[in-house]
């Protein structure tokens, strides 16, 4: 198989989904005078968080989703932040609420995520949605965007998940854990590796599907990859590079060139999973809009 056939074009898949969503929004305009609304809450001045929020805003605008943005100072109190969440919970023009993570250390993340109304929790991080995601046969109102995007990339690349052995490296609440459950519900056999796993290489060597989501640059090595395996790289790590304008380049959690050799499919970084995170958020916002306005499936 040629190099090009192996590389999953995440940008292209995201723009296909964008087209589909755009058409759906046009149809929605014919049945409702209201527009879907997304509120993004950003606390502090982290450059990366600001960049992500900018991308979300830009995509919302392109699709005709109204964006409500709150930029709050680093030193805001937990009470004040809760107040902002409550305001959006009660605002009928807001169909989705996203609190950009990570939050400053003096704020308890769990308390904040708990305060978001599950009906508007487009990230799917509130305990009710997480709980329903983990249990069999229960449909959560929202599924976390990045894990949802990974499943979409796998399916749209023509890969069958049922019966496959999936090895997930990383067990974070925002990626590793939810994606493990999504793959399980798709009838994969899952193995979740983490910092206490005895021999991660050995586990990965058995995998038909590898999900790398641990946050360590080029951690997964080429000689761990079984012939024909499908690799989804969720990592985004900045490594210093003087030849680049920004002074760094982005690499994933996978040694891309090394792993490409045995893989049948692999996502690049950038241009793989990243764009899914944004587009799935838009999709979830529109789902919330429909549910909150009693609009049934139209397409």
Ligand X SMILES: Nc1nc(=O)c2c([nH]1)NC[C@@H]1CN(c3ccc(C(=O)N[C@@H](CCC(=O)O)C(=O)O)cc3)C=[N+]21
Query: Annotated catalytic sites, by residue?
Result: 56, 100, 123
> Among 28, 98, 231, 282, which residue interacts with ligand X (rule: CB under 6 A)?
98
What phi, psi does 281 have (nearest 5°)?
-65, -40
End-to-end CA distance of the chain: 36
Burial class (CB in 10 A: 0-12, 13-18, 19+), 293: middle
Q: Which residue, 20 or 48, has its beta carbon nearer to ligand X?
A: 48
Indicate whether 116 belongs to the interface with ligand X (CB under 6 A).
Answer: no
> Among 18, 157, 267, 277, which residue interacts with ligand X (rule: CB under 6 A)?
277
Count of residues engaged in binding ligand X, rule: CB under 6 A: 17
**Which listed range, 18-26, 80-88, 178-186, 272-280, lies at the site for ligand X (CB under 6 A)?**
272-280
Indicate whether 99 belongs to the interface with ligand X (CB under 6 A).
Answer: yes
| Smallest distance, ligand X to C-beta of residue 226, A | 25
Indicate whether 275 belongs to the interface with ligand X (CB under 6 A).
Answer: yes
> Among 191, 271, 293, 295, which residue interacts with ligand X (rule: CB under 6 A)?
271
Q: Which residue, 10 or 36, has its beta carbon nearer to ligand X?
A: 10
Q: Which residue, 48 or 93, has its beta carbon nearer to ligand X?
A: 48
Looking at beta carbons, which residue is closest to ligand X? 274
The verdict on whether omega for the bond into residue 84 sits within 30 degrees of 0, i.e. cis, is no
174 DSSP 8-state letter = T
Residues 6+ apart with CB under 8 A from 43: 72, 73, 74, 76, 81, 99, 100, 103, 104, 107
Query: What is the DSSP pairing of strand 237-240 with strand 248-251?
Result: antiparallel
Q: Which residue, 29 or 106, has its beta carbon nearer to ligand X?
A: 106
Helix (H, G, I), strand (E, B) or coil at 61: helix
Distance of CA 267 to the CA centre of its chain: 14
Q: Which residue, 176 or 275, has its beta carbon nearer to ligand X?
A: 275
> Among 25, 101, 159, 295, which residue interacts with ligand X (rule: CB under 6 A)?
101
Q: Which residue, 250 or 266, has its beta carbon nearer to ligand X?
A: 250
Sheet of 37-43: strand order equals 66-72, 37-43, 96-99
| Smallest distance, ligand X to C-beta of residue 272, A | 6
Shortest CA distance to 28 belongs to which of 293, 208, 282, 257? 293
**What residues between 202 and 241 interact with ligand X by CB under 6 A?**
236
Give the CA angle between residues 204, 169, 180 to the nearest 5°.
105
* CA dist list (Å): 34 to 138, 160, 223, 287: 29, 38, 53, 14
Dihedral over Cα of 105, 55, 145, 248: its sign = negative
Q: What stretch of H or E contains 256?
A: helix 256-260
**What residues between 37 and 56 interact with ligand X by CB under 6 A?**
52, 55
**Which listed range, 95-103, 130-138, 195-203, 287-295, lies at the site for ligand X (CB under 6 A)?**
95-103
| Smallest distance, ligand X to C-beta of residue 43, A | 11
Indicate whether 280 belongs to the interface with ligand X (CB under 6 A).
Answer: no
Give me the residues that bind ligand X (CB under 6 A), please: 52, 55, 98-101, 123, 145, 236, 250, 269-271, 274-275, 277-278
């Amino acid at each position: 198989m040629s190099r090009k056939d192996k590389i999953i074009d995440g940008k292209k898949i995201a723009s296909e989904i964008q087209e589909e969503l755009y058409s759906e929004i046009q149809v929605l305009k014919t049945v409702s005078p209201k527009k879907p609304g997304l509120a993004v809450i950003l606390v502090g001045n982290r450059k990366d968080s600001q960049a992500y929020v900018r991308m979300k805003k830009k995509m919302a605008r392109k699709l005709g989703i109204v964006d409500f943005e709150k930029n709050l100072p680093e030193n805001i109190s937990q009470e004040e932040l809760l107040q902002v969440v409550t305001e959006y919970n009660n605002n009928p023009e807001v169909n989705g609420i996203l609190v950009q993570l990570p939050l400053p250390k003096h704020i308890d993340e769990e308390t904040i995520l708990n305060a978001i109304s599950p009906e508007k929790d487009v990230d799917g991080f509130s305990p009710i949605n997480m709980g329903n995601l983990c249990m069999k046969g229960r449909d959560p109102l929202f599924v976390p965007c990045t894990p949802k995007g990974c499943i979409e990339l796998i399916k749209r690349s023509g890969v069958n998940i049922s019966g496959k052995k999936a090895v997930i490296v990383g067990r974070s609440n925002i990626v590793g854990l939810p994606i493990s459950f999504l793959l399980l519900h798709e009838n994969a056999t899952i193995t979740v590796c983490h910092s206490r796993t005895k021999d991660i290489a050995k586990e990965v060597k058995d995998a038909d599907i590898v999900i790398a989501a641990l946050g360590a640059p080029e951690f997964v090595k080429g000689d761990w990859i079984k012939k024909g395996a499908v690799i989804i790289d969720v990592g985004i790590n900045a490594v210093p590079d003087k030849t680049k304008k920004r002074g760094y380049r982005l690499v994933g959690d996978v040694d891309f060139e090394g792993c490409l050799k045995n893989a049948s499919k692999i996502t690049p970084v950038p241009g793989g999973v990243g764009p899914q995170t944004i587009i799935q958020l838009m999709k979830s916002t529109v789902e919330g809009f429909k549910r909150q306005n009693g609009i049934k499936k139209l397409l």
